[in-house]
Amino acid sequence: MSEISVSTGTIAAIATAVVPQQGSVGIVRLSGSQAISIAKTLFHAPGHQAWESHRILYGYIRHPQTQQLVDEALLLIMKAPRSYTREDVVEFHCHGGIMVVQQVLQLCLENGARLAQPGEFTLRAFLNGRLDLTQAESIADLVGARSPQAQAYALAGLQGKLAHPIRQLRTQCLNILAEIEARIDFEEDLPPLDDKTIISEIAKISAQVNQILATADRGELLRSGLKVAIVGRPNVGKSSLLNAWSKSDRAIVTDLPGTTRDVVESQLVVGGIPVQVLDTAGIRETDDQVEKIGVERSRRAATAADLVLLTVDATAGWTAEDEKIYAQVKHRPLILVINKIDLAPAQTVKYPSEIHQVVKTAAAQNQGIDSLETAILQTVRIGQVQAADIDLAINQRQAAALIKAKTSLEQVQATISQQLPLDFWTIDLRDAIRAFGEITGEEVTESLLEQIFSRFCIGK
Ligand SMILES: Nc1nc2c(ncn2[C@@H]2O[C@H](COP(=O)(O)OP(=O)(O)OP(=O)(O)O)[C@@H](O)[C@H]2O)c(=O)[nH]1
Ligand SMILES: [Mg+2]
């Protein structure tokens, strides 16, 4: 840790979202040794209010030179170490919107604070030992959570549900390393090492690593969500499907083919996964300039989507145009949606036998949405079965470190089996220990920290 250069000084940032006319309260946060003195310069608490830690003061924020009133506000003081950063922290709870918080922040900057980098409050919490790296990352996940599941996994991470097993695995490796090193240093005085026991201990560690690794797909889905594009011929009921699914009349529905001209988006949550659904213009040859652009956008949406819902009309069967569209999207993960089954049996659609996921709907009657969601979850959950019992969702960085640990552990096993000298065993074991340490933060570099914390929002 000694290589990390901690930038000191008192930092300031707006901690709440800055949106005009929104948010009845806006918070400006300060952290560092000057936080309280800056607050005293700006904040006037009338009467006999004590400037004590973990108390709320009521008063006015004024410009220190002109005494001009900036806001009527509350002030919260949290003295070190009982604060988020373990430094002195002060929060101005001002009126929301954009004007007040920006002025208060400006005053803090003019009176000794500097603007915080993204994630710098949390970085300080980490550097001061209040959080480990997995907890710090969970905080970013919690702020970014777009579904109850994502929130639950982020909270689990914040409680140390990932850090705990990783630390245990690291300790187990350290113990094995100590055993081996003792043999290197005092070979004559100790009983010989039992290769088989060590190999089986390492196998157990690897198995646990695999289990945790299996939560990575879920983590990826929960963080980035899933982009689903509804595509198909005009008039098959794509917009009706979007409306039925999102329980809204988001998209215009008419019986005229070519109604939808532009991509219409809706945000949903399916099985805890944030899903962005795109309704697109019906794909057909057309001379209409506007529709042409729409059709081009449909094609692009289909290419960019994680999953394509190829929608067809049960009354029309599988047409030559359906076949053409299918040819364009068949390399993508795909579900065939046979719509309008209230008008004709789904069997009339003689679709290619290589399509395995098929859902029958009557979008105009709100029918079939449940089976559509089930089919989507089946399509994306392949490979996640193993992870079902662990309530974690690791991120890409953590997954990469675990893969490094796993590879090194495999290497140790190979080295032992090949009966190479003990020095060789320790090299790979140390690599595994380092990889575990990177996850929780026992072993980090400045660039790693920068990479992690730059993804945070400002003020966190
Ligand atoms: N009976 C019945 N009619 C439906 C169903 N789904 C859609 N429709 C009707 O089919 C017509 C076209 O529906 P849309 O949802 O606009 O079709 P679309 O695929 O979005 O059409 P474009 O935007 O032109 O590509 C409308 O009159 C809908 O009411 C269904 O399940 N059953
Ligand atoms: Mg439409």
pLDDT above 90: residue 392: no
Rounded to the nearest 5°, which phi and psi values hold at 232? 160, -175
The pLDDT of 189-199, averaged and rounded, is 85
Distance (Å, whole) CA 87 – CA 32:
5
For 71, the enclosing helix (H) or strand (E) is strand 69-78
Of 239, 240, 245, 342, best ligand 1 pocket probe by most atoms within 8 Å of the beta carbon: 240
Q: What is the pLDDT of residue 273?
A: 87
Confidence of residue 13 (pLDDT cuts 50, 70, 90): very high
Q: Which of 253, 311, 313 should be mutated for ligand 1, with most atoms under 8 A from CB?
A: 253
Tell me how far apart the alpha carbons of residues 306 and 323 are, in angstroms, rounded to a whole number.
21
DSSP single-letter state for residue 367: B
* Nearest atom in ligand 1 to 282's CA: 25
Q: Give the residue, 445 or 335, on which the prediction is more confident.
A: 335
Q: Is 254 in the pocket of ligand 1 (CB under 6 A)?
A: yes
Q: Are the beta carbons of 63 and 40 closer than 8 angstroms?
A: no
55 vs 78: CA distance, rounded Å: 8
Query: Residue 215's Cα: distance from chain center in Å?
Result: 13
Spatial distance between the Cα atoms of 29 and 39, rounded to a whole number of angstroms? 10
Closest by CA to 94, choosing from 31, 9, 30, 155, is 30
- pTM > 0.75: yes or no: yes
pLDDT of 384 strictly over 80: no
**Closest residue CA from atom 24 of ligand 1:** 258
What is the per-residue pLDDT for 388? 53
Sign of dihedral through CA atoms 344, 345, 349, 355? Answer: positive
| H or E element at residue 447 | helix 446-453
Query: How much is the average pLDDT of 382-390?
Result: 52
Regarding the beta carbon of 118 and ligand 1, being less than 6 Å apart is answered no
Q: Which of 99, 215, 100 is nearest to 165 (CA)?
A: 215
